[in-house]
């Protein structure tokens, strides 16, 4: 009765709470937060509405849990790329590798976004209209991810002003995150889009297309 949050130690009950979490993420994303009733949600996991209060103290807490997991997955993906470049040797070509570093992070962002779509997409579609309690709870994690990208762009585009870098970052995020609304999940498709975004972001679209044409070569 005191704390429902953690049962005791390591024995994380993975069936009950986890099933609710996944179903909630999916339904929140498909139908929206308010449009999703706890009764429908409970039916998805074979429960009754009131039963879920054993695992989560409120509907808001459920949304917070979903969004926190989503953002954690994104942060992890970012750090994985950082670690990858760290072992590759710092004394590599610093300048010429800038576009490759950026490309790697773009790919990682898009992969993490689509591989865990149910959890991550909520940050794009329903964070904005989420209850204030929810937004405040998840904001630290979001800010952390944003800060990583801000730092990355500062290293990779040192000649741009801060204002321009901010706008470029937000524009890049917009281009990438909007893909959850139209891109059919599938590793191949995601990677192709990632290459296109990275290529276009760095070299633009005015010059001739890169050599590796995809699918049916128009050329």
Partner DNA sequence: CCGGCTACCTAACAAACGTTAGGCAGATCT
Partner DNA sequence: AGATCTGCCTAACGTTTGTTAGGTAGCCGG
Nearer to DNA, 125 or 189 (CB): 125
User: Where does this chain touch a second copy (CB under 8 A) — which range of 11-19, 54-62, 111-119, 204-212?
Assistant: 204-212
Residues in the chain: 219
Cβ contacts of 154 within 8 Å, gap of 6 or more: 165
Is 37 a binding residue for DNA by CB under 7 A? The answer is: yes
Nearer to DNA, 45 or 194 (CB): 45
Interaction residues for DNA, span 53-72 (CB under 7 A): 53-55, 57-60
The Cα–Cα gap between 147 and 173 comes to 13
Nearest approach, Cβ of 160 to a second copy (angstroms)? 6
Count of residues that bind DNA according to CB under 7 A: 25
User: Where does this chain touch DNA (CB under 7 A) — which range of 11-19, 21-29, 70-78, 190-198?
Assistant: 11-19
Indicate which single residue of 18, 30, 32, 50 sits in contact with DNA (rule: CB under 7 A). Answer: 50
């Amino acid at each position: 009765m005191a704390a429902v949050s953690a049962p005791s130690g390591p024995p994380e009950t993975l069936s009950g709470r986890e099933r609710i979490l996944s179903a909630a993420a999916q339904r929140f994303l498909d139908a929206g937060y308010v449009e999703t009733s706890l009764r429908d949600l409970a039916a998805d996991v074979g429960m009754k509405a009131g039963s879920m209060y054993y695992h989560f103290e409120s509907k808001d807490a459920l949304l917070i849990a979903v969004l926190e997991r989503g953002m954690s997955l994104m942060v992890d993906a970012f750090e994985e790329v950082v670690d990858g470049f760290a072992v590759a040797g710092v004394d590599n070509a610093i300048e010429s590798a800038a576009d490759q570093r950026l490309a790697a992070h773009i790919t990682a962002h898009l992969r993490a976004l689509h591989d865990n779509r149910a959890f991550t997409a909520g940050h794009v579609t329903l964070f904005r209209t989420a209850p204030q309690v929810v937004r405040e709870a998840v904001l630290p994690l979001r800010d952390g991810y944003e800060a990583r990208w801000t730092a990355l762009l500062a290293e990779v585009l040192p000649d741009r002003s801060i204002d321009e870098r901010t706008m470029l970052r937000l524009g890049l995020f917009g281009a990438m995150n909007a893909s959850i609304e139209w891109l059919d999940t599938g590793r191949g498709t995601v990677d192709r889009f990632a290459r296109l975004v990275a290529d276009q972001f760095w070299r633009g679209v005015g010059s001739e297309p890169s050599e590796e044409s995809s699918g049916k070569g128009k050329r």
